[in-house]
Structure 1
Amino acid sequence: MKKASTLMILGPLFLLGLYFLPLWNIMLGAPQYPEPLGMNIHINGIRGVSEFDIQNIDGLNHYIGMRTLPKDEDMWEFSAFPIIVGAMIVLGIIVGVLGYFKKVGYRWFFGWFLLMSVLGIMGMYDFNNWMVDYGTNLDPNAIMKLENPDGTPMTYKPPLFGHVKMLNFDVTSLPAPGAWMMFVGMTMTLLAGYLGWKSSKKTE
């Protein structure tokens, strides 16, 4: 159980990477831009991949009626997510320490993993809803009003995951290093639960 508990203590620490590394990355490439434009989604805000990327993306969006990208203070999520992640790190370490001293069992390890998974899914759902609103709720007085072949207004929602073609832009959305660190940490806690379960079976 000590090996499982050690993994349970170490796993949540990988979530600390979310405070320093981006969680998600969206890149926009087009022939007129030798260097693609990009934005990194952090748990506390949106940052440009390069110095002027946010300014250039907002300039492009203005022509098609999309709002400017939100500032850190414009979305409650950017204030709440750092607190939630911090609470989950502390909770995970406490569970691991209690497991080390045999105060709790492996079910608590699985419980932490399940709770973190639910919170992650909720965060992705919220992020996707924001992108839907961002890409479809357009200014009716925009300079450019483009339509689909069937006559409906064109929308510009970036993909949650993968690649899509929007006008002459190739838009790619993928997990960034922070997400991979979180994935590694959560995998470690899942492994901790499995090792704890195996240990309990041997004891029985």
Structure 2
Amino acid sequence: MKKASLLMILGSVLLLGLFVFPLWNIELGAPQYPEPLGIDIYINGLQGQNEFDIQNIDGLNHYIGMKTLPKPEDMWEFTVFPLVIGVMVFLGVLLGVLGYTNKISYKWFFGWFILMSALGVLGMYDFNAWLVDYGTNLDPKAILKLANPDGTPMSYKPPLLGHQKMLNFDAYSYPRLGAYLMFVGMCLTLIAGYLGWRYKKINGTKQQN
């Protein structure tokens, strides 16, 4: 159970990488931009991939009526998400310590994993909802008003994951190091639960014999 508990602690601590490294990245490439424009998305705000990327993207978006990119104070997520991650890290480490001292069973490790998975799904849903609003809720007084062949307003929603063609831009959306660290951390906590279960099963069998 001690090995499982140490993995639980390590897996939880890896989530702290989200406070240092970006969670996601959206990149826009076009012939007129030798270097693509990019946005690194952190749990507490946005940052340009290069120095002036935020200003350049906002300048392009102005012509088609898209909102300016939000500052940390403009979105509640940039305040709540760091708190949620901080609580989950603390809870995971606490469960690991309690497991190490045999105060709790491995089932708590699985419970943490299920809760973190649910929060991750909700976070992705919220992120996609923001992309939809950002790309479709356009200013009717925009300089450029482009429409689909059927006459409906064109959407400029970037992809949640993968590649999408937007006018003459190629939009790419992929996880960054923070997301990979979170994924590895969650895998370690899942392995911790499995090792705890295996330890309990083996020791239970020995006691019966």
TM range (shorter): over 0.9
Over the matched positions of the two proteins, sequence identity in percent amounts to 70
Partner of 2:207: none
- 1:176 partner letter: R
Aligned counterpart, 2:64: 64
1:76-95 mapped onto 2 (5 Å cutoff) = 76-95=76-95
Question: Match of 1:143, as an amino acid?
Answer: I
The count of corresponding residues between Structure 1 and Structure 2 is 204
In the alignment, the residues of structure 2 paired with residue 149 and residue 96 of structure 1 have an alpha-carbon distance, to the nearest angstrom, of 57
Tell me what 1:33 maps to: 33
Which residue matches 1:185?
185
CA drift of 1:61 comes to: 0.3
| Matches of 1:152 and 1:76, distance apart in 2 | 31
Report the 3-state secondary structure (helix = DSSP H, G, I; strand = E; otherwise coil) of the residue aligned with 2:174.
strand
Paired AA for residue 97 in structure 1? V
- Determine whether 1:14 maps to 2:20: no
Distance in 2 (alpha carbons) for counterparts of 1:11 and 1:76: 27
Question: Within 1, Cα distance between the matches of 2:152 and 2:77?
Answer: 32
Q: CA deviation at 1:203?
A: 1.1
Matches within 5 A, 1:1-204: 1-204=1-204
- Give distance in 2, aligned partners of 1:109 and 1:17: 20
* 1:66-110 CA distance string (max 9 Å, x none): 010001100011011111100000000000000001111110000
Q: CA deviation at 1:150?
A: 1.0
| Alignment RMSD | 0.5
* Separation of aligned partners in 2, 1:132 and 1:2: 45
Q: Post-superposition shift, 1:157?
A: 0.4
Structure 1 runs of 4+ with >3 Å offset = none
Unmatched runs of 5 consecutive residues or more in structure 2: 205-209
Take 2:113 and 2:156, find their aligned partners in 1: how far apart are those partners?
34
Shift of residue 152 of structure 1?
0.8
Counterpart of 1:82, as a letter, is P
Q: Deviations over 1:8-56 (max 9, x none)?
A: 0111100110000000000000000000000000000011000000000
